């Protein structure tokens, strides 16, 4: 994961998730199906460390990084501005909470 982060983002450290959009620079079109957004690569070791640090179950942290990666594929970018960061974090929380509610209904 560190080598991917270094190669594609020029950041020489590990990370929890990387997203590689299929189409750069424009939001995806939802008119044509199937819809291929891109690839999400998750580092399970980093995700586990974060789960421990955040005192949450691994499954919850895994969902969080997956949602984070998916939002990047949909065009969200927390590094663009503080406003975008807040917007993305709010949406992450909403989606994570919605998934947890679905789990409780089972």
Tell me the domain boundaries of the chain.
2-105
CA 101 from chain centre, in angstroms, equals 20
Residue 29 has pLDDT above 80, yes or no: no
Q: Which fold has domain 2-105?
A: Collagenase (Catalytic Domain) (3.40.390)
How far apart CA 84 and CA 90 sit, in angstroms, is 10
90 vs 36, which has greater pLDDT?
90
How confident is the model over 57-70, as pLDDT tens digits?
999 999 999 999 99
Q: Does the structure show a pLDDT above 80 at 47? A: yes
Determine phi and psi for 44, rounding to 5 degrees. Answer: -65, -30
């Amino acid at each position: 994961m560190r080598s991917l982060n270094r190669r594609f983002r020029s950041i020489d450290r590990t990370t929890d998730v990387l997203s590689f959009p299929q189409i750069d620079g424009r939001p995806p079109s939802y008119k044509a199906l199937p819809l291929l957004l891109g690839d999400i690569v998750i580092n399970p070791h980093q995700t586990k460390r974060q789960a421990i640090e955040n005192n949450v179950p691994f499954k919850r942290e895994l969902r969080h990084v997956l949602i984070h990666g998916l939002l990047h594929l949909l065009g969200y970018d927390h590094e663009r501005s503080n406003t975008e960061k807040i917007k993305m974090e709010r949406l992450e929380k909403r989606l994570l909470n919605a998934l947890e509610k679905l789990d409780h209904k089972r």
